[in-house]
């Protein structure tokens, strides 16, 4: 192994999803940086890897990063892993990789499992273009604003979510994206793996009734339909103004929502803004 920082993907559930190359790197490294050493120790013990580990996570990353960079500059071979899946995705690892690159140190990816890609493969949604957006903010106002930034993105959207927040997030998605096709994938590669497919309002209602599911969750939302994509800002404003000549703001938003497939909530806010400027 050449000196450098090795970004090593690990299983997201089933320990047999580790790659031969990943095991070689973990066994040959001088040090393994683990998000939680207790979780990584189970993987290492399963495959007889005895390499020294050190914790690297949100709470200590800024403090110990200079020391790690110094080790790498001295020729160390360091492997970085997260609790599950591909490091740097929704974890603090990218800052270490960035600093290593800035210092002229080699950063070597060791690919493998990824919950986002596993969920995409099982969702039955378009895969030619997709966008990973991570976790939505926990507070309702910020969460809605977060989702609204992706309304016009012509790609399948991928989010991570926790069980207790799932129903609220799906309801917010239904408000923002409308009845788009979607999927909820959880416990991927594990014994109780499940992928539930449907439109967003139906999924929101399902999980509001059934309660918080267990396990790690990936939510995938289909891209805007062709009809939605054809409705640019100018066309939306024209349609709303025409509808408001005969109907109330609320009814005008409903009329345009039905014609365009766009979320009625967004159209109502847009109609209010147009009316205030009239």
Q: Is the pLDDT of residue 92 over 70?
A: no
pLDDT of residue 193: 96
pLDDT of residue 171: 96
Q: CA angle, corner 196, sides to 191 and 197, nearest 5?
A: 150
pLDDT of residue 265: 78
Check if the beta carbon of residue 222 is closer than 8 Å to that of residue 120: no
122: how many CB neighbours lie within 10 A of its CB?
Answer: 17
Entry pTM: 0.84
Q: Is the pLDDT of residue 153 over 70?
A: yes
Q: Is the pLDDT of residue 158 over 90?
A: yes
Mean pLDDT confidence for 237-265: 86
Mean pLDDT confidence for 99-116: 97
Q: Is the pLDDT of residue 159 over 70?
A: yes
Long-range contacts of 16-20 (CB under 8 A, 24+ apart): 17/112, 17/113, 17/189, 18/43, 18/47, 18/112, 19/110, 19/111, 19/112
pLDDT of residue 143: 95
Q: Higher-confidence residue: 202 or 88?
A: 202
Tokens 């690892």 locate to 93
Q: CA angle, corner 124, sides to 119 and 128, nearest 5?
A: 85
Check if the beta carbon of residue 142 is closer than 8 Å to that of residue 40: no
Q: Is the pLDDT of residue 231 over 80?
A: no
């Amino acid at each position: 192994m050449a000196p450098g920082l090795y970004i090593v993907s690990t299983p997201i559930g089933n320990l047999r999803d580790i790659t031969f190359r990943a095991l070689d790197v973990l066994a040959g490294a001088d040090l393994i940086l683990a998000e939680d050493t207790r979780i990584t120790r189970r993987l290492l013990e399963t495959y007889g890897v005895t390499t020294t580990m050190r914790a690297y996570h949100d709470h200590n990353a800024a403090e110990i990063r200079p020391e790690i960079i110094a080790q790498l500059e001295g020729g160390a071979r360091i492997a970085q892993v997260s609790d599950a899946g591909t490091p740097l995705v929704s974890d603090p690892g990218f800052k270490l990789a960035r600093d290593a690159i800035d210092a002229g140190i080699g950063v070597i990816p060791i690919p493998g499992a990824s919950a986002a890609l596993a969920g995409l493969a099982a969702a039955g949604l378009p895969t030619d273009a997709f966008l990973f957006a991570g976790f939505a903010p926990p507070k309702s106002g910020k969460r809605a604003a977060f989702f609204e930034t992706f309304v016009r993105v012509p790609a399948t959207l991928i989010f991570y979510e926790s069980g207790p927040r799932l129903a609220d997030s799906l309801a917010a998605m239904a408000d923002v994206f409308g009845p788009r096709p979607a999927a909820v994938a959880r416990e991927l590669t594990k014994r109780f793996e499940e992928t539930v497919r449907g439109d967003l309002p139906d999924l929101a209602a399902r999980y509001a009734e059934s309660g918080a599911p267990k396990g790690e969750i990936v939510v995938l939302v289909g891209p805007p339909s062709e009809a939605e994509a054809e409705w640019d800002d100018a066309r939306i404003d024209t349609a709303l103004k025409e509808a408001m000549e005969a109907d109330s703001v609320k009814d005008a938003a409903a009329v345009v929502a039905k014609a365009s497939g766009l979320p009625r909530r967004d159209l109502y806010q847009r109609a209010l803004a147009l009316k205030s400027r009239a």
